[in-house]
Structure 1
Amino acid sequence: MQTHTELDVPAYLSVLPLFHEMRPAELERIAESAALKRFVRGEEVFRVGEPCEGFHVVVAGQVKLYALSHSGHEKVIELISPGNSFAEALMFTGKPYIVNAQTLSDSLVLTVKKQAVMAEIERDPRFSLRMLAGISRRLHGLVQDVEASALHSGIQRVIGYLLRDQSLEDVVPGQVATVQLPVSKATIASLLSLTPEYFSRVLRELEDGGLIAMDRRDIRILDVQGLSRYHLQ
């Protein structure tokens, strides 16, 4: 994992979609206000109710956004991987965080201060358009997740997750694809609005059907087309 001194923050920001059109001087100003922090696995980046004074980018590791019910039940809302940002929309509301953020592994997180973002928007309104585009992409993804939870069966959600990075048009008959679960099965189950027991049961059903083979977090899809057809049943 990169350290504070190894990361060239302006160069790193320049490759992110949100910042890639910014000029070097603008990136330098943003970088000056940014804070890079190392978190150990399981550490909270922020909690519900804390003030939101900026947005965050995962440089290394992984962060989950989640909510807790009154009974203590956890619902995973989103998994944030390196190169992706979060909390941009909330930053503009002036309200505290409405979800929790916790690292799933040792992580490095870059926080960009709200004041720096507002200053750049005042200098160049086009920056706000790029930020809106990024927020819109996240909202679209979350709406798709809600639709999947509401309209698809549990097994369809599991298969959809396994096939999310597979292009069926490019699949060669007999080709085996490997999916590595980035987090625990319980976390994936929560993301899909399923119980861990049901998620494991679906995986066993697919394995018994000869569609996948499991080796801990590595899942080999033995028949991509067949799995896709099973998805439509």
Structure 2
Amino acid sequence: MRASPWYGSLARDTQQALLEGCWIVQLKSGEYLFRRGDRRNGFYGVNNGRLKASTLRENGKEAILAIIEAGNWFGQMSMISGAPHAHDVVALENATVLAARPQAFETLMNDAAFAKAIAQLQSIHTSWLYRIIDDSAAYSTRARIARRLVLLASGDMSMAGAREEIALSQEMLAMMLDITRQTLAIELKAMVAKGAISLHYGRIQILSREALLKLREDD
């Protein structure tokens, strides 16, 4: 958790107050942290493991919005607005989540520095959301896939750092992009041919960011 850029930006006493206001939630793979429509009950930080945020479309298909990795904090909008959760969050693997109690969160929000940090966190999440919307509207399928791979390699919604390997199945990536598994396979094969990526079971390795960035520009 201390490796989280957002958490690390907090003052030491604020970090301690946040942790003291949390309870620990242990999730098994496939277990829900909360479902769409559930009332707010915490401001969450992923200590280990990975979660996914998703929703069901009218046709019953699942749309994966984000992969929430260790170090990510989320749930601030429901805590501030009091509105129910807008999507489902479920564990992709066994995970440990810290959940700040509403009362503790509200007390911390009385501190101007913490309130500013929450505003910055919301700005990060909003920028991420606008980027996803922009990609869907303005780019070709191949460019959308390439751009999402770059985003995932940067920590997806946290944009916290870079890695060369993305632990994600092709099925899940297709659900994130709202394309068929067959279409994704064709486009990934083209990226392999360009020397941009290599494919492995349950993961995608970025071999050349330059080649991938070039694909991002091809429309």
Name the TM tier (shorter chain).
0.7 to 0.9
Trace 1:1-233 onto structure 2 (pairs within 5 A). 12=1, 17-18=6-7, 20-24=9-13, 26-122=14-110, 124-164=111-151, 179-233=164-218
The residue matched to 1:92 in structure 2 has which SS?
helix
* Higher Cα radius of gyration: 1
Q: Take 1:41 and 1:19, find their aligned partners in 2: how far apart are those partners? A: 28
The residue identity in structure 2 corresponding to 1:35 is: W
> Cα distance, 1:132 vs. partner?
0.6
Q: Take 2:59 and 2:97, find their aligned partners in 1: how far apart are those partners? A: 30
RMSD of aligned residue pairs (Cα, Å): 2.7
Structure with greater helix share of residues: 2
The residue matched to 1:42 in structure 2 has which SS?
coil
The residue matched to 1:109 in structure 2 has which SS?
strand
Q: Take 1:126 and 1:72, find their aligned partners in 2: how far apart are those partners? A: 42
The residue matched to 1:199 in structure 2 has which SS?
helix
Identity, in percent, stands at: 23
| Contiguous gaps of at least 5 residues in structure 1 | 1-11, 168-177
| Contiguous gaps of at least 5 residues in structure 2 | 155-162
Q: Structure 2 vs 1, CA of residues 16 and 209 (structure 1 numbering), >3 Å: closer, same or farther? A: closer
Q: Structure 2 vs 1, CA of residues 71 and 230 (structure 1 numbering), >3 Å: closer, same or farther? A: closer
Give me the TM-score of the superposition, normalised by structure 2.
Answer: 0.84
The residue identity in structure 2 corresponding to 1:75 is: A
Give me the TM-score of the superposition, normalised by structure 1.
Answer: 0.79
Give CA deviations for 1:69-112 in whole Å, capped at 9, x if unaligned: 23321111111110001111121111111100001111111101
Counterpart position of 1:4: none
What is the number of equivalent residue pairs in this alignment? 211
Q: Take 1:106 and 1:186, find their aligned partners in 2: how far apart are those partners? A: 20
Counterpart position of 1:173: none
Instruction: Identify the range of structure 1 (113-122 vs 57-66) with the bigger mean alpha-carbon deviation.
Output: 113-122
Q: Structure 2 vs 1, CA of residues 18 and 220 (structure 1 numbering), >3 Å: closer, same or farther? A: closer
Q: Take 1:222 and 1:60, find their aligned partners in 2: how far apart are those partners? A: 27
Q: Structure 2 vs 1, CA of residues 118 and 16 (structure 1 numbering), >3 Å: closer, same or farther? A: farther
The residue matched to 1:90 in structure 2 has which SS?
helix
